[in-house]
Amino acid sequence: MYALVVNGQTYKTKEQENIKAFVNVNVLTMRDSIPKMSQTVIIKNDRIVAIGNSKNIKVPDGAKLIDGNHTKYLIPGLTDTHVHVGHKGSEEWIRSYVNNGVTTVLNLGGSKKVLKLKERIKKQKIIGPDIYTAGRGGVVRELNRSNYKTVSLDKIEERIMEDKEKGYDFIKIYGQMTISQFEHMMKIAKREGIHAMGHIPRNLTADDALRIGQKSMAHTEEFIYTQFTEFDEQEVIDFATKAAAANVWLIANIIAYEKIELTWGKPQVMDSILRLPQTKRLHPKIQKIYKADWYGSRDISGRSYVEKVYKFYFPIVKHFHKAGVKMLVGTDTAFPAAAPGESAINEIKNFTKAGLSNYEALKAATVNAGVYINKFIDNSYFVGKIQQNYTAHIILLSSNPLNNLEVLNKPEGVMLRGHWFDPTGLKEMIQWNN
């Protein structure tokens, strides 16, 4: 047996029986919007093993007690379905996700480094969210960045097989490709039982992606570039009906384009952001990404179009949701001006700007994400609800987030695979060795 030591704190691994109990807590299971009051939730190792009224459920002897005093609320840990954890220093700054209650991430840019990072987290060598990762970039794009048309169908099949063998969990749809390449990529992915998700190829249309069988689409602006080029809201309504009928999921990525719109052609904006105390508290490698200011040096003449695209994000999300397209939280972090972890919370709030209720917005980072991963990526993985036999990814909050989402920014504690981080542990988690 061994124990994980981080910043002076010791966290037992699941090789040792480790029982904890949240007592006198109000629980948002996320199966519905009605909290269960004065509950006890028992955790054994990395699993939720029992939930019930505190008057009726017996806490095992020797369990570590976490008392909610009948006022605090439990919700499931959050999932960010679009991150990039291959940037430098991620073995440290990845803790920022957990610090903000993000306990699962889908990484959309695979590499050997990310596979190693995933394995180290799985073996509890370092603290970080559960990682599921795409293979190496877009399949076709990575085979020939200068001329995608020259990539053979055999090469596409070979790359998918290689990525699956290397241990990647899904493949990323990204970059331009022909219809036949796209169809073949999806055919092979289906045959091999490996999910394909990501962008809409910009030389094709969203209708093409729908017809070929793409089940989740990231970045709302891709619909504008490929389908809604005239910014016609009726066209959005019509397409949303088709997308819902095809059981499509939307990773809206509002937060990423929000930062593009904020900084485009205005380097002084990032200069101001870099001076903020909250920016200075970020990991040095994240601050370096901010300093790169990917969009601040863009031609200011393009800004009016960027503003128009950002404004049109919200009717797209609104009509997709209204039609029944399921929403997922995705942030594209690490991203200039978008901090890992915190941005997932901001994205939940962004969904409410598009007309979703607080509960519907929170579902996008909990229930919906859990169902999505279980359905398409790993059918043995159960997260997104506080429910018996689910992984013990849990956030303790001072009040009901359905009344005010701002409470998400100040967790009273986070449980990661049964390991409990109280406010002191969360604070120590983001003390960086500069």
Residues 211-239 have a mean pLDDT of 97
Residues 213-239 have a mean pLDDT of 97
Specify the pLDDT at position 163: 95
Mean pLDDT (the chain, rounded): 95
Helices (H), 303-402: 303-323, 342-353, 358-363, 367-376
212: pLDDT strictly greater than 60: yes
Residues 6-11 have a mean pLDDT of 47
| 13 confidence band (pLDDT: 50, 70, 90) | very low
Specify the pLDDT at position 434: 64
Contact 224, 195 (CB under 8 A): no
Q: How confident is the model over 240-273, as pLDDT tens digits?
A: 999 999 999 999 999 999 999 999 999 999 999 9
Specify the pLDDT at position 39: 98
Specify the pLDDT at position 7: 46
Strand-strand pairing, 170-173 and 130-138: parallel
User: Considering only 5-19, 126-140, 299-313, which range has the smallest mean pLDDT?
Assistant: 5-19
Q: How confident is the model over 101-133, as pLDDT tens digits?
A: 999 999 999 999 999 999 999 999 999 999 999
Nearest-CA neighbor of 75 among 105, 30, 44, 45?
30
Nearest-CA neighbor of 337 among 287, 302, 297, 298?
287
Contact 27, 39 (CB under 8 A): yes
Residues 24-44 have a mean pLDDT of 98
Specify the pLDDT at position 15: 38
90: pLDDT strictly greater than 70: yes
Greater model confidence, 151 or 143: 151
Specify the pLDDT at position 17: 61
- Write down all domains in the chain, each with its CATH number in brackets: 3-76+386-429 (2.30.40.10), 78-376 (3.20.20.140)
| 8 confidence band (pLDDT: 50, 70, 90) | very low
Nearest-CA neighbor of 392 among 125, 39, 74?
74
Specify the pLDDT at position 369: 99
pTM, rounded to two decimals: 0.95
| 82 confidence band (pLDDT: 50, 70, 90) | very high
Specify the pLDDT at position 14: 43
Contact 363, 75 (CB under 8 A): no
Nearest-CA neighbor of 240 among 304, 311, 178, 322?
322
Residues 72-91 have a mean pLDDT of 97
427: pLDDT strictly greater than 90: yes
Specify the pLDDT at position 254: 98
Type and span of the H or E element at 280: helix 277-280
Q: What is the rounded distance in angstroms from the CA atom of residue 152 to the CA atom of residue 49? A: 50
Greater model confidence, 148 or 360: 360
